[in-house]
Amino acid sequence: MSQVHNIMFQWVILQPGHFELVHEENEEHYPRKSRGFIVESLLDAVFQYHQSTEVKEVRPTVQMFKYTMETWLQESTGESHTPRLSFPNRSHKTLNREDKISLEGLERAETLLGKLFDFVKDKNKNCIVGDNLLWEEGDQYSTKRDHGDVNYMVNSCFASVTHALLNQKVNSSIERAEEVFRRLCLLHGTTSISLLKNGNLVQELMSKINNSPSNNIRWKHCITSINAILHILVSKGDTDSLSITRNFVSRLVDSSLVDDGTIKPNKFTFNILLHGYAKVGDTKAVESLLQWIESLYQEGKLPFQSDTISFNILLNAYAKRGDIDSCMKAKRLLRIMRDNREKNCEPDIVSYTAVINALSRNGMAKESHRLLFEIINKLEKEGDEAAQPDRVIFSAVVDAWAKSKEQMAVERCWEIIHLMERTQKRDLAPSTVTFNSLIYAIGKSQDSNVCDKALEVLAYMKILSRQHDHINADPNITTYNTILSILGKIGIKEVRKFFDQMQKDDEIEINIISVNTFLDALARSKSSKAAEEALSILEGMKKKNHAPFPHVYPNTRTYNTVLNVISKSEPLWCEKVEQILDKMEALYSERRKSVNVNVIPNTITYTTAINAIARSDVKNKAERALALLRRMEKAQIQGNIDATPNTKTFNALLNACCFVNSNGRDERKQAISISKMALSEMNKWPNCMPDHVTFATMIKVSARNIVDVEDRLHYIEEIFKQCRSRKRVSNFVLKELRKSIPRQLYEKLTARI
């Protein structure tokens, strides 16, 4: 068995790319070039041999399961099987064959863990061993080797799979991790998993974490399994789960001080807790926890301080918040880490990337650029391998330039990309993500040839990927969608041509963003057939397996964009507005019954619909627009919080009151009544304060619809006084005021402005 263990261990530590898998006939079931397949084949062979012979010298062991799972998890994560926490923005992988390998590797490890649980729970098997570690009379603690006891190895396998599930963010990752934990509970003889549901985690786990051997308790937790359970909890992201985790860690610290035999928390325990609060953006809680860890260390209650990973969690939380205050805090923290290297918190590449992302979100491209070259210079002078720049940090600086308002942004992006190309290193070569940022920068530039330049980058990406093995810059759907958006600013002819090419290309899978981008271009086109074409696309998408892009279903933005096309088209199309709203509201009420429905009528939906009515020539448009507002209010009251009116909603209603298509006194009188009511109702809603457009439109409504001259001038004067008192006077307001009243009155009202 030792020989089998040694063979497996060699495959575990073997780096990817050092071998070729010859079992091509198994391609459908296992990925080619898969170490996981080879090691699992060895495990299967041991099982088959053990079952087919009376000689039991070679038999399956827990250690064999552990090695096999470790190999599959390395296939999945591309890193060591050591438990870790994932950091945002550290992966620029595109969806390709390697992703399939990654997901299959994780699924295989998950399946093997289930087999391991069944294996060790079967009391009829005498082969529950860990390489010369015999299970004898319930005592799994005596061992002749350094592999450790079976209990620890099972806990370690559980932890590795759990961390991988949560870090990879696979479908239903939390639910799958909870299922793995449920199996562990059954192994412990616990049929309930209430500790993850009813808040009893502290009490129930504290009763199971005694380390001392006992024949009465065969299976016990250790800090490895405890950390995995805490990772599940913090991944939920709700206040109760975070509070339970914090309470448990505190209890764990207290119990370890009075009982040497109990489990002691390690750095990973605290980093999991920090990670949970950082994930929900609570930077104050992370700061407080770091201070708590430091105070525990100073008081002698912990043998360690926070490390680089701990501070990286806070840096990434700052970057995630994105505001200028958090950006400044990230810069200060990086400076502190640099100045305190002796405390084991020297910044690494994750630290620098987080700060660059924080700078990027605040438009500080020059500082990001400067920081990158500081890292490069530091590496050249000091040989600091911990801060070795990689593709992610280079791409982050390119993205910072792309999002900035700097005139030389495109040139700076190219400068960094050419630097990446010259390295001739696979892990530094520009990727699809890097070039997508460049294309975005081109689209934002004021260059008159933005379309040609974007298409040139597209061609360059294809050539680069074909000619250089170390560069993977094949265009993806984001590349094409970004170019489609750029072309949309030029004209519908260019957009339609490119969109048709995308549909004909078998390597491009059109998604809903592609369709919505094309519809946006239609809305800007002012084409006489824009509404007809938009409605045709929408109707086609409602059909199952529709052409030309099946499996793409309309979402909220799709419907909103079609409404926007209608609002900018011929007035006759406005009759479709209520029909589209009917459909959206019906889909919203049925959204739980279909996985393909992602439609929520929101503020933009109703506001755009009101705008469509306002720009039409229908009769009683003020009443119809008001009916849409009431419909919106009803939706909000019934629970659709996305359908909350804002200032633009009321301004659209006022616009409908302004342009009534009738000379009749009754309709004009109704428009005035609705406009007054709208102005008074705005204060009922949050984010509905009247702005300068509100008052300018009210002046226009009064000028166009109040017949009596004296009443009209008096009301306009009152509106303007309200405008002045709210400090909303603008050139737009003054322009409408000048057109609506006599010059003498205008000079009187504006004398002190």
474-531 pLDDT, tens per residue? 999 999 999 999 998 888 889 999 999 998 888 888 999 999 999 999 998 888 889 9
Q: Annotate 449-465 with b (16+ C-beta within 10 A) or e (fewer).
A: ebbebbbebbeebeebb
- Which residues lie closer than 8 Å to 422 by C-beta, 6 or more apart? none
pLDDT at position 33 is 54
In a domain, 350, yes or no: no
- How many domains does the chain fold into? 1
H or E element: which one contains 548? Answer: none
Comparing 325-339, 340-354, 439-453, 544-558, the range with the smallest average pLDDT is: 544-558
In a domain, 632, yes or no: no
Phi-psi region of 742 (alpha: psi -120 to 50; beta: other; left: phi over 0): beta
In a domain, 58, yes or no: no
In a domain, 733, yes or no: yes
Distances (CA, A) of 128 to 3, 42, 61, 137, 537: 18, 17, 6, 12, 62
pLDDT at position 6 is 59
* Distance between CA atoms of residues 334 and 348, nearest Å: 10
State yes or no: pLDDT of 281 exceeds 80: yes
* Distance between CA atoms of residues 559 and 565, nearest Å: 10
- Amino acid letter, 633: E
Phi-psi region of 468 (alpha: psi -120 to 50; beta: other; left: phi over 0): beta
State yes or no: pLDDT of 17 exceeds 60: no
**Contact between residue 629 and residue 606 where contact means Cβ atoms under 8 Å apart:** yes
In a domain, 517, yes or no: no
In a domain, 150, yes or no: no
Which residue range is the domain that position 698 belongs to?
Answer: 690-753
**Contact between residue 206 and residue 255 where contact means Cβ atoms under 8 Å apart:** yes
262 forms bridges with which residues in the sheet?
Answer: 210
* Distance between CA atoms of residues 446 and 192, nearest Å: 63
In a domain, 707, yes or no: yes
> Which tokens belong to 611?
């705008």
Comparing 84-93, 458-467, 484-493, 688-697, the range with the smallest average pLDDT is: 84-93
* Distance between CA atoms of residues 103 and 115, nearest Å: 19
pLDDT digits (tens, 9 = 90+) for 284-323: 999 999 999 999 999 999 999 999 999 999 999 999 998 9
DSSP assignment of 577-634 = HHHHHHHHHHHHHTGGG-TT-B----HHHHHHHHHHHHTS--TTHHHHHHHHHHHHHH
In a domain, 402, yes or no: no
